[in-house]
Amino acid sequence: MSKIYFAPMEGITTPAYRKVHKKYYKGIDRYFSPFIVVTSTHNLKKRETREYIPFEENMTPQILTAAGADFAWAAKMLKGLGYDEVNLNLGCPAATVVTKGKGAGLLRNKENLRRFFEDVFSENDLPDISIKTRCGFWSHDEAEELAEVFTDYPFKEIILHPRVREEFYQGKPDPKSFRIIKSKAKCPVIYNGDVFDVSSLRDHLKSDDGVMLGRGLLRNPMLAESKDFDTADERLEGFLDELYEEYIKIMSGERDVLFKLKELWTYLITGFPRRDDDYKRLMKASTGAEYKAAVRQIISTDIC
Ligand SMILES: Cc1cc2nc3c(=O)[nH]c(=O)nc-3n(C[C@H](O)[C@H](O)[C@H](O)COP(=O)(O)O)c2cc1C
């Protein structure tokens, strides 16, 4: 059976978001934490340790780092906490990340990438290792060479977003580079990129080992149930109310909570066309009461 994963999205798919999403919606086989930055000091920020403590079932922590030895250290530390799989971020395109040789920055030099993996797999007692990668740094012509590197290491899975770093999220994912890497891989290859509706999801589930959904799930939290966004679905109101309450419990004030939820609404609003005025009100809300009133207005107007 083809699997469905919830993509890591920094700042959005927080532990609170994952907890509430799991409660309200079905269909996700595995969640991934947003990247946890690991440096040579092995000192992790408190915000990042909250991604994996307390232990979360069916969740794979993701590591962003420039050195194989530091990745191996983090993988073993996470194994000790009960995680049977750890994921390596090879896809983040942000300039601040890439210039430090992390994320997609590791794809730039294939020999360095090999050295990174040699340092990882020279260690014993690792958990399963999966990678989340793009198919090149500059161009899709790199797919073949990258595929050669990947086949030399015992990954549990490759999650592949078939854009290169230079494209960021522009243009369309390239099915040809995806096929090149998949045809050589010795492990399952999970598709990721621009799956926004049920028909596209079904096509990928038929042809691929699995699909990782990102922005599609932010727009439509029931997408993994193979259901189109339904504004009459009563769960959305409960989901949003509970998410608000979770953030109020853990964040330092209403303003921070509203900031976070407004970011989520930049995706959700696409399911509510013709709600411009209410959406403006929501984006301007400076108190929880104003925010909730705007949400009710958007949701209830659409149901009528
Ligand atoms: C706001 C945001 C934050 C993201 N954070 C991460 C991250 O922490 N780790 C990661 O591997 N990818 C991250 N991504 C990339 C997504 O996981 C995913 O690969 C990308 O959005 C393409 O999939 P989609 O078209 O289904 O959204 C992020 C994407 C967005 C939009």
Q: What CATH number did the domain enclosing 214 receive?
A: 3.20.20.70
Alpha carbon nearest to ligand 1 atom 30, residue: 9
- Provide the mean pLDDT of the chain: 96
For the stretch 178-223, pLDDT in tens is 999 999 999 999 999 999 999 999 999 999 999 999 999 999 999 9
Q: Residue 1 has what pLDDT?
A: 78
* Separation of CA 212 and ligand 1 centre (Å): 10
Q: Residue 304 has what pLDDT?
A: 43
Chain centre to alpha carbon of residue 42: 23
Q: Is 86 domain-assigned? A: yes
Q: Residue 66 has what pLDDT?
A: 98
Same domain, 105 and 37: yes
Nearest ligand 1 atom, CA 218: 27
Q: Residue 232 has what pLDDT?
A: 86
If you average pLDDT over residues 11-27, what whole number do you get?
A: 98
Instruction: Give, in order, the Cα–Cα distances in Å from 166 to each of 92, 109, 170.
Output: 11, 14, 9
Same domain, 172 and 206: yes
Q: For residue 107, is pLDDT > 90?
A: yes
Q: Is 226 domain-assigned? A: no
* Separation of CA 78 and ligand 1 centre (Å): 22
* Separation of CA 73 and ligand 1 centre (Å): 24
Domain final residue, candidates 220, 253, 280? 220
Q: For residue 177, is pLDDT > 60?
A: yes
Q: The whole model's pTM is what?
A: 0.97
Q: Is 229 domain-assigned? A: no
Same domain, 283 and 163: no
Q: Residue 274 has what pLDDT?
A: 80
* Separation of CA 300 and ligand 1 centre (Å): 30
Alpha carbon nearest to ligand 1 atom 13, residue: 9
Q: For residue 70, is pLDDT > 50?
A: yes
* Separation of CA 117 and ligand 1 centre (Å): 23
For the stretch 123-164, pLDDT in tens is 999 999 999 999 999 999 999 999 999 999 999 999 999 999
Q: For residue 302, is pLDDT > 80?
A: no
For the stretch 230-247, pLDDT in tens is 988 999 999 999 999 999
Nearest ligand 1 atom, CA 173: 25
Distance CA 272, CA 283 (A): 15
User: Could you tell me the residue range of the domain that residue 137 belongs to?
Assistant: 3-220
Q: Residue 231 has what pLDDT?
A: 86
Cα Rg of the chain (Å, integer) = 20
* Separation of CA 161 and ligand 1 centre (Å): 9
* Contact status, residue 183 vs residue 213, Cβ threshold 8 Å: no
* Contact status, residue 152 vs residue 113, Cβ threshold 8 Å: no
Residues 6+ apart with CB under 8 A from 166: 137, 138, 139
Same domain, 63 and 27: yes
List all residues whose CB is within 6 A of at least one atom of ligand 1: 7-10, 12, 34-35, 62, 89, 91-92, 132, 161, 192-195, 213-216
Domain final residue, candidates 195, 220, 245? 220
Q: Residue 197 has what pLDDT?
A: 97
Specify the number of domains making up the chain: 2
